[in-house]
Structure formats: structure tokens, C-alpha cells
Amino acid sequence: MRWTRKDLLDLQSLSADEILAVLDTAREFKAVGERTIKKVPALRGKTVVNLFVEPSTRTRISFELAAQRLSADVINFTAEASSLRKGETLKDTARNLEALNADFIIIRHSAAGAPHFLARVLGAHVVNAGDGAHEHPTQGLLDVFTMREKKGRVAGLKVTVVGDILYSRVARSNVWALRRLGAEVTLCGPPTLVPPAFQRMGCRVTTDLRLAIADADVINLLRIQHERQRKTMFPSLGEYTSLFGISRARLREARPDVLIMHPGPINRGVEVDSDVADGGHSVILEQVTNGLAVRMAVLYLINGGESSGVAN
Ligand code: CP
């Protein structure tokens, strides 16, 4: 399948076929990454700019490496050292990058909708690397890729997402992709962070962790996003951990083959104990590895590539 999209802004608007095209293409790129020569010429002559106006470790480095593996030239824009600090607008900044022949702008921004705005004003391809509490589409894709790789399917999987759902762009992107591919999604956390309105996205909503994890094939744990919360959403971190943290004892109440996932960064001892994060059920670092293949697939498909041509 050939993608016809100029940009990747969210997963809400993607069809199941478009999501599956990314997953299938990423599988091919993962195989390329296991070869001695890991580079392909698909984006030779193209310029990719990482425009990160919010901190990132995994996503920024993963996009940088993905672009390099596709033979693109890569520019890492550092917001703190840029003229954004002198009052230049995001639009002017991005248009100047385009004037320097940027073909792709990968943007992370604290404002929901910033990538959509840039996509309207730029001819360059725009990829959303996380916008406020709205969406983090490549994280959603790499999470679904990892589930499909480990469990052999997505349709019918029972996936429980635990934590700060309200402020989580990862949760929203997971829900859109998982529901589109036929998984059953349960959202669990304190009532202030998991409002019943999420049921309208086709999810089961509960505050009972025991119920939420009992029959789950996958438990995806989220960080408390203190940077986005405008008020205290629960009494204390200690209380949060005792009710919603996953310890080894808690894990015994889940299925023996359950997968533990986390998008990172982890707050060890809060949403997950170290012996679970580093234990046999955890695929947290495999998610990071898969993120590289997924981001290569996204850049490749947006550039007009087809899955069958990946290995050349
Ligand atoms: N998962 C994720 O987005 O991590 P970073 O903030 O480090 O990119």
C-alpha cells in the first residue's frame, strides 16, 4: 500500500489499512536494522529537521537515527539556543527552516495542535512527535507494533492502560490505534485522571486496578505528567503507588504471559517497581528498539515509499 498523506499528525484520522501499512513496513525496516549495513538510500538528498520545543530523549534520538538510516541529512534544532527565545514565532521559525530546504519537520511542542498548524502553513512534511496532551502518534504505532510482534495479533487483545490518562498523549494515540485494529482497551487510574468521558472512545473505564489487570494481555503503564497538571489530582504519590503502582506482588494477580509496557521516562517506584520494569514480563527497551523501525517506516511512507521497496 502507498500512503497518500503529506503529514502524520495523529492516529485518530488513520484507517486500519494505513496503520497496518506502517506496521508491515516497520517490520521490514527492523530486519534491515539487523543487517551488517543498516542504511538504505530511500531519503538520500532529503533534509529532516527535528524541531523539539519540549524535552525528549527517546523520540528525538530515534527520529534522528531513523533519518540517518534512510540516508537523509538531519538537523537538530535546539529551542533554548534558538531565536524562539528572542520572540520569533513558531510559524516564522518553521518557514525559515523550510526556506533552508527542510523536507521534513518533526515537531514536539507543549501546545496541542501545533503540528496541525504547521502542516497547514508549510509545504514540507510535518510529523507530530508529541503535542501537549493531544497525541503522540509514533509512540502509539511503536506500542501497537510491539504488541503485535509479541502476541502475534492486535485484534481481540485485552490492553489495560494505567495512570494519568487525562494528560497523556500516549494514552490517546494508543486508544485510537488499538480500537481501530480491534483490541479491547481498559483505562485505569484515579477518578480525577480517568474521567468517564473516555468511554466515548470505546474504552472500559475503571478505578479498580485488580479488575483492570486480571485478564489483561498487555499492561501499559504511564507516568504522572506533573508538567501538564494545573492542580493536584490525587492526595500523594505514596497513595497513588499503593493503589495504582505495579509491584511484583501486584503482577502475580495478572496473567502469567502478560506484557509490561511503558513509553518512558519511568518514575521507578511510583507507577512501576524496578524489579517489574527490569523483569521478564517487561518489553520496555524493546519498545525503544521498535520505535526506530516505526519512525523509519513513517518517514519512508510519507515520502511516497512502498513496503516492497524497503530493503533496497
Ligand atoms: N516516550 C517518549 O516520548 O519519550 P521521550 O519524551 O524521551 O521522547
Q: What confidence tens digit (pLDDT) does each residue in 92-117 have?
A: 999 999 999 999 999 999 999 999 99
166-178 mean pLDDT: 97
Q: Is the pLDDT of residue 311 over 70?
A: no
Q: Give residue 235's pLDDT.
A: 72
User: Rg (Cα) of the chain, in Å, rounded?
Assistant: 19
Q: Give residue 234's pLDDT.
A: 75
| Ligand 1 mean position, distance from CA 193 (Å) | 20
Which of 50, 56, 64, 294, when mutated, tests ligand 1's pocket best, judged by the most ligand atoms within 8 Å of its CB? 56
**Do residues 258 and 51 make contact, with C-beta atoms less than 8 angstroms apart?**
no
Give alpha helix (H) positions in the chain.
Answer: 16-33, 58-69, 90-99, 114-121, 137-151, 169-180, 209-214, 237-244, 248-251, 274-277, 284-302
For 184, the 3-state DSSP assignment is strand
Closest protein CA for atom 1 of ligand 1 = 263
Distance of CA 132 to the CA centre of its chain: 13
**Do residues 188 and 161 make contact, with C-beta atoms less than 8 angstroms apart?**
yes
Structural domains for the chain: 16-136+289-309 (3.40.50.1370), 137-286 (3.40.50.1370)
Closest protein CA for atom 3 of ligand 1 = 59
Q: How far is residue 110's CA from residue 136's CA, in Å, rounded to a whole number?
A: 12
| Ligand 1 mean position, distance from CA 200 (Å) | 27
| Ligand 1 mean position, distance from CA 295 (Å) | 13
Query: Pocket residues for ligand 1 (CB within 6 Å)?
Result: 56-59, 130, 136, 139, 263-265
Which of 51, 59, 63, when mutated, tests ligand 1's pocket best, judged by the most ligand atoms within 8 Å of its CB? 59
| Ligand 1 mean position, distance from CA 263 (Å) | 7
104-109 and 204-206: which strand pairing? unpaired
267-293 mean pLDDT: 97
From the list 245, 249, 248, 246, the residue with the least C-alpha distance to 236 is 245
Which of the four pLDDT bands, split at 50, 70 and 90, describes residue 227? low
| Ligand 1 mean position, distance from CA 179 (Å) | 23
185-190 mean pLDDT: 97
Q: Is the pLDDT of residue 193 over 70?
A: yes
Q: Give residue 231's pLDDT.
A: 62
C-alpha cell at 310: 524497503
**Do residues 282 and 260 make contact, with C-beta atoms less than 8 angstroms apart?**
yes
Closest protein CA for atom 6 of ligand 1 = 56
Ligand 1 atom at shortest distance from the alpha carbon of 54: 6
Q: Is the pLDDT of residue 62 over 80?
A: yes
| Ligand 1 mean position, distance from CA 59 (Å) | 5
